[in-house]
């Protein structure tokens, strides 16, 4: 696959790159970033996928996520895709709203016009881009994990729940846990997938769990001062679904934090350690024990 290098920069001994390629899934050029830590020749490294939120590109987490120091320490490749197709002829919200269309692909394969031609982010993230990463980078595709923020947290949860054998760890920052039940999702899902709510369920983490999807455990951090908490995010719905399904959920409410990258970067190291332990085949760790103590402080 032809891959254009947009830029590379040395960082913590590794290489932060930005790349462009022609996507068969979306029918557009797509840009993504990859951080590869310093490593011995021939060694393959585990891969952490990060899915971004509404209005974002690969650049938001790449520039603000503060992940490279710990990825270098833990030996993790960090992949950050875009959030939607872009370019001439790509449909957008007719009113230019931020929560639908460009920058807001919701990680689905659209079936409705005019979005079906390009908005195939599910296929792009789960099939096409992994094949590129496997071919072009020193990636151990038997050791993958996934995380995301907001709309990207929704994507990480739904993809992780759909492919539990592929992703050894799943976590999220302020995810949209039940898009079928909140305004952001009830705007996007019918426009992309049609009005039959049955088609939305495989793109709704709470519905997936209700329908039998399982993962070994989940980590979610949520800012208590997040302006979207009550109306759009509703982490209590995920908590209820996980409790009913006996899925261990570490849900941490962080006092004073909002929805921004100040919040994400603060807790990024915790998430990367969570992922590294599970990618190494460990599950009960200092992190879980620490979280039990922290939960008493952080619960609302």
Residues designated catalytic: 150, 226, 259
Report the alpha-carbon distance of residue 49 to residue 272 in Å, rounded: 11
Is the residue at 4 inside a domain? no
pLDDT of residue 296: 37
Specify if 295 maps to a domain. Answer: no
Residue 3 located in a structural domain: no
Give the model confidence (pLDDT) of 193-234 as tens digits. Answer: 999 999 999 999 999 999 999 999 999 999 999 999 999 999
Q: Write out the residue range of the structural domain in which residue 178 sits.
A: 12-287
Q: How far apart are CA 68 and CA 87, in angstroms?
A: 29
Would residue 202 count as lying in a domain?
Answer: yes
Q: Please state the domain count of the chain.
A: 1
pLDDT tens track of the chain, all 300 residues?
A: 699 999 999 999 999 999 999 999 999 999 999 999 999 999 999 999 999 999 999 999 999 999 999 999 999 999 999 999 999 999 999 999 999 999 999 999 999 999 999 999 999 999 999 999 999 999 999 999 999 999 999 999 999 999 999 999 999 999 999 999 999 999 999 999 999 999 999 999 999 999 999 999 999 999 999 999 999 999 999 999 999 999 999 999 999 999 999 999 999 999 999 999 999 987 665 455 544 434 433 554
Yes or no: say if 193 and 108 are a contact pair by the CB < 8 Å rule. Answer: yes
Q: What percentage of residues in the chain have a pLDDT greater than 70?
A: 94
The first and second tokens of residue 217, run together, are 């455990």
CATH assignment at residue 65: 3.40.50.1820
Whether residue 132 lies inside any domain: the answer is: yes
Q: What is the pTM of this model?
A: 0.94
Residue 7 belongs to a domain: no
pLDDT of residue 293: 36
- Whether 110 maps to a domain, the answer reads yes
How high is the pLDDT of residue 289? 52
Alpha-carbon distance of 159 to 166, in angstroms, equals: 10
299 within some domain: no
Q: What is the 3-state secondary structure (H, E, C) of 45-109?
A: EEEEEEECCCCCCHHHHHHHCCCHHHHHHHCCEEEECCCCCCCCCCCCCCCCCCCCECCECCCCE
φ and ψ at residue 88, rounded to 5 degrees: -60, 135
> Looking at residue 284, what is its pLDDT?
60
């Amino acid at each position: 696959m032809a891959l254009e290098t947009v830029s590379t920069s040395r960082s913590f001994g590794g290489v932060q790159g930005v790349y462009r390629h022609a996507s068969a899934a979306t029918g557009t050029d797509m840009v993504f970033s990859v951080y590869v830590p310093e490593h011995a020749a021939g060694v393959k490294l585990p891969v952490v996928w990060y899915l971004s939120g509404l209005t974002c590109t690969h650049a938001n987490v790449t520039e603000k996520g503060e992940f490279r120091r710990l990825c270098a320490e833990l030996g993790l490749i960090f992949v950050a895709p875009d959030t939607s197709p872009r370019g001439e002829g790509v449909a957008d919200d007719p009113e230019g709203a931020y929560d639908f269309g460009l920058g807001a692909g919701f990680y689905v394969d659209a079936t409705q016009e005019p979005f079906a031609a390009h908005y195939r982010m599910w296929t792009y993230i789960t099939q096409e881009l992994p094949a590129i990463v496997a071919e072009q980078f020193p990636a151990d595709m038997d050791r993958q994990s996934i995380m995301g923020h907001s709309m990207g947290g929704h994507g990480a949860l739904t993809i992780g729940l759909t492919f539990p054998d592929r992703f050894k760890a799943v976590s999220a920052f302020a995810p949209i846990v039940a898009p079928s039940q909140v305004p952001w999702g009830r705007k996007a899902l019918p426009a992309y997938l049609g009005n039959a709510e049955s088609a939305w369920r495989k793109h709704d983490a709470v519905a997936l769990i209700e329908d039998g999807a399982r993962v070994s455990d989940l980590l979610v951090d949520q800012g208590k001062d997040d302006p979207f908490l009550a109306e759009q995010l509703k982490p209590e719905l995920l908590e209820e679904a996980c409790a009913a399904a006996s899925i261990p959920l570490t849900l941490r409410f962080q006092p004073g934090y909002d929805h921004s990258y100040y919040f994400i970067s603060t807790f990024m190291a915790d998430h990367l350690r969570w992922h590294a332990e599970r990618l190494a085949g460990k599950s009960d760790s200092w992190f879980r024990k620490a979280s039990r103590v922290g939960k008493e402080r952080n619960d609302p």
